[in-house]
Amino acid sequence: MLNDPARPDVSRKPPDALLTRMRWASEYAVLRSVERIFRGLGPDRASAFSGWLWQTIAPLTRRQTSALTHLEVAFPDKSAAERVSITRDVWNNLGRTFAEALLIREIGTDPGRIRLMSPDVMKIIADAKGRVVVTSMHYANWELIAPAFQAVGFPMAFIYQRVKNPLSERRLRRLRLTFFEGGVYPKGETAPRRLIGWLKKGHPVLILADQRTGDLKTDFFGYKAPTTPLPAFMARNFDAPLIAARLVRTGGVQFDLYLEQIAVPKTEDSQSDIAEASQTIQSVFERWIAARPGQWMWHHRRWTHRGPPPEWTPQTKTRDPKAAR
């Protein structure tokens, strides 16, 4: 029987869908092969090799241009050579982080990998019985914050950016779940509600707050940047301490964990309170990034795709960029 031309042929998937599934399968096969190789090398050698590889290849991509543009925005007083040097550290760190993400179970269960440098703030967390909002940024290996908290009895929940390949996404999510008892939730409308539920049960939540998202604008290296209000919102509205966290890579797969409590005002003007606390978070991030710029992810969009709008010049900055030192 001939097909009716007025009806679509549903017996076959569109060619582009088939090609997409084939690409996903090949990408996933490569990911699992790389994971097996890294597991054979062990965390230290795998991290070092991946860092070297990224440091070699990434400067040849267009992301190098974005990173250099953003560094010029943040550090106009640095020379071009200094900014290029920072990007080498950036790519090395991100390459290491990629390998460490695939070996997070081995690294996260090794108590010698992460040192707690803020016992006073950890006492605040203990006094709150773990019911805290932790905010961090894409700095060093940010995903190892969760194993550090779980090691002292405070399992977390987390919002993350989903990868496009569903096969790779499933694998990476399974690896993360080892240290996120409260769940890992892709960005979307339901994710904040899931985190709020975990917080209400008396557990910590982890929110990365250094990406370009939301309608709230805060100062970041002297320019206005779209910022998520979620950490400040949750801390204020659910009476939970707000803690900024950063891991500092001290060499290889060794880290120091620093914690800093963020003051959250609570007045009759909730929007103003949230804006003030959100600005404090970004100011802390700025100070930390300026201290070790090579450990932050400079190529992603923090202001606009390539930096502040073209009409914004150094003279339009909200404050002296040197103040960020």
| Whole-number pLDDT of residue 215 | 84
Dist CA 52 CA 44 (whole Å)? 12
Q: Does residue 319 belong to any structural domain of this protein?
A: no
| Whole-number pLDDT of residue 1 | 38
Which residue in the block uniquely carries the two structure tokens 């978070």?
281
Closest among 193, 195, 171 to 184, alpha carbons compared: 195
Q: Please give the residue range of the domain that contains residue 196.
A: 16-303
| Whole-number pLDDT of residue 310 | 58
| Whole-number pLDDT of residue 105 | 95
Dist CA 185 CA 179 (whole Å)? 13
Dist CA 75 CA 52 (whole Å)? 25
Q: Does residue 252 belong to any structural domain of this protein?
A: yes
300-323 pLDDT tens trace: 888 865 556 555 554 455 444 333
The CA-based dihedral angle spanning residues 20, 23, 24, 30, taken in that order and rounded to the nearest 10 degrees: 180
Q: Does residue 317 belong to any structural domain of this protein?
A: no
Distance of CA 55 to the CA centre of its chain: 19
Q: Does residue 246 belong to any structural domain of this protein?
A: yes
Closest among 50, 63, 87 to 300, alpha carbons compared: 63
Give the number of domains in the chain: 1
Q: Does residue 2 belong to any structural domain of this protein?
A: no
Q: Does residue 9 belong to any structural domain of this protein?
A: no
Q: Does residue 146 belong to any structural domain of this protein?
A: yes
| Whole-number pLDDT of residue 8 | 42
What is the three-state SS of 24-73?
HHHHHHHHHHHHHHHHHHCHHHHHHHHHHHHHHHHHHCHHHHHHHHHHHH
CATH number of the domain enclosing 86 = 3.40.1130
Q: Does residue 116 belong to any structural domain of this protein?
A: yes
| Whole-number pLDDT of residue 2 | 40
Farthest CA pair distance, the chain: 78
**C-alpha distance from residue 284 to each of 159, 206, 272, 287 (Å):** 21, 16, 19, 5
- In tens digits, the chain (325 residues) has pLDDT values of 344 444 444 444 555 788 999 999 999 999 999 999 999 999 999 999 999 999 999 999 999 999 999 999 999 999 999 999 999 999 999 999 999 999 999 999 999 999 999 999 999 999 999 999 999 999 999 999 999 999 999 999 999 888 899 999 999 999 999 999 999 998 887 899 999 999 999 999 999 999 888 789 999 999 999 999 999 999 999 999 999 999 999 999 999 999 999 999 999 999 999 999 999 999 999 999 999 999 999 998 888 655 565 555 544 554 443 333 3
The CA-based dihedral angle spanning residues 119, 244, 72, 52, taken in that order and rounded to the nearest 10 degrees: 60
Dist CA 41 CA 89 (whole Å)? 22
